[in-house]
Amino acid sequence: MVPTKALGIDIGGTSTKLGLVNKTGELLRFTSFPSRAQEDFKFFLEDLKSVTEDFLNEDKVIGVGIGAPDASPLDGTMSRPANFKWGEKVHLVDGISKVLNQKAFLTNDANAAALGEWYFGAAKGMTDFVVITLGTGVGSGFISNGRLLWGKRGMAGEFGHIVTKPNGRDCSCGHRGCLEMYASARGIRQTVLEFLAESEAPSSLRGYDLKNMSVRKIEKAARAGDLFALKTFEKTGHILGSKLADLIALFDLEAVILSGGVSRAGQLLLKPTLESMEAWTFPAFRGNTKLLLSEMENANAAVLGAAALVFNELE
């Protein structure tokens, strides 16, 4: 018997990545093409059709999973996607299932990350965990009681926009003090700049502003012992860990898995996060939740996660 395969598509503002994935998480074929997000949606569909033609000629492709920003999984659309000129409501599932003649399923990137981790990564065999995506934004995808948690409108898991500091930093959502403003790449950059402004002590991180500072620079400085950089990871971890403790109290989690670009800081972030998570966890739950790093290769995680969505929906 030929094992089943799914096509995973990760639609980004610049490029679209896609790959054919089997149930053990092998990426059998992979390609990418420009999304043409500033042009008409029909050009995207035409390009997608021609790029995937010989992928879909293979045996046993059972469906197409789509990961996209601003996704509304229940009606299969992207709603007012910030970096796309494809319209207010883009009918992704309709459009893609028609041009590819395949069943198609849609989710946001955080749910795709959770499914990828569940099928192929650090959460294999678990029934209750959360994947936190730490990148430009902060998101989360929950598996609870062995099922992906969708919520009423398919939008559950906006972890980045829970209030962390009432009246804190302005958030792009219009509120103040959201977690995203502290634990995203941007939040971390802002934290280090605030620490630098409070003191005149020398640091290799002086001379940068919010635009040209980067988490990688802060990480490098921290590894070289820079106190401002170390304090930044500590503060970030303390804030993040306390909010993870809230999630543990609500969902009785087996594991919390950190993924996304910021998580590549590894132990620098993991250690203070774990300390704070343990300290704030409801005492009856303490010591029962692992804090792990993603086991997905960053470059392919979104494609693998989108493919896992197909297995999750059809099998």
Nearer to Zn ion, 161 or 243 (CB): 161
Segment interacting with Zn ion (CB under 5 A) among 41-49, 62-70, 134-142, 169-177: 169-177
List, edge to edge, every strand of the sheet that includes 27-34: 27-34, 15-22, 5-11, 61-67, 104-107
Residue 148 CA: distances (Å) to CA of 75, 239, 253, 308:
17, 26, 13, 12
Rounded to the nearest whole angstrom, what is the least distance from the CB of residue 101 to Zn ion in the complex? Answer: 40
Single residue of 21, 171, 213, 221 touching Zn ion by CB under 5 A: 171
**Which residue is associated with the tokens 């959460």?**
123
Nearer to Zn ion, 23 or 175 (CB): 175
Give the separation between CA 69 and CA 109, rounded to whole angstroms.
7
Nearer to Zn ion, 173 or 314 (CB): 173
DSSP code per residue over 104-169? EEEE-HHHHHHHHHHHHSTTTT-SSEEEEEESSSEEEEEEETTEE---TTS----GGGSBSSTT-S
Nearer to Zn ion, 161 or 189 (CB): 161
The pair of structure tokens assigned to 211 is 């635009």
- The Cβ of residue 166 has, within 10 Å, a number of other Cβ atoms equal to 8
Nearer to Zn ion, 183 or 308 (CB): 183
- The Cβ of residue 174 has, within 10 Å, a number of other Cβ atoms equal to 8
String of contacts with Zn ion for each residue 173-202, x by CB under 5 A: x-x--x------------------------
Nearer to Zn ion, 173 or 201 (CB): 173
Give the separation between CA 142 and CA 150, rounded to whole angstroms.
8
Rounded to the nearest whole angstrom, what is the least distance from the CB of residue 224 to Zn ion in the complex? Answer: 33
Footprint on residues 247-266 left by Zn ion (CB under 5 A):
none
String of contacts with Zn ion for each residue 216-235, x by CB under 5 A: --------------------
Give the separation between CA 231 and CA 113, rounded to whole angstroms.
29
Rounded to the nearest whole angstrom, what is the least distance from the CB of residue 59 to Zn ion in the complex? Answer: 46
In one letter, which amino acid is 268? L
List, edge to edge, every strand of the sheet that includes 255-259: 147-148, 138-144, 129-134, 255-259, 290-293
Give the separation between CA 203 and CA 196, rounded to whole angstroms.
8
**Which residue is associated with the tokens 């941007």?**
186
Nearer to Zn ion, 110 or 123 (CB): 110
Rounded to the nearest whole angstrom, what is the least distance from the CB of residue 277 to Zn ion in the complex? Answer: 22
Rounded to the nearest whole angstrom, what is the least distance from the CB of residue 115 to Zn ion in the complex? Answer: 24
114 is a site residue for Zn ion (CB under 5 A): no
Rounded to the nearest whole angstrom, what is the least distance from the CB of residue 166 to Zn ion in the complex? Answer: 13
Nearer to Zn ion, 174 or 287 (CB): 174
Rounded to the nearest whole angstrom, what is the least distance from the CB of residue 173 to Zn ion in the complex? Answer: 3
Nearer to Zn ion, 118 or 182 (CB): 182
Angle at which helices 267-280 and 227-251 cross, to 10°: 40
Residue 57 CA: distances (Å) to CA of 16, 78, 251, 265:
20, 28, 42, 41
How many chain residues bind Zn ion (CB under 5 A)? Answer: 5
Footprint on residues 145-164 left by Zn ion (CB under 5 A):
161
Rounded to the nearest whole angstrom, what is the least distance from the CB of residue 10 to Zn ion in the complex? Answer: 24
Segment interacting with Zn ion (CB under 5 A) among 48-56, 171-179, 255-263, 274-282: 171-179
Interface residues toward Zn ion, by CB under 5 A: 161, 171, 173, 175, 178
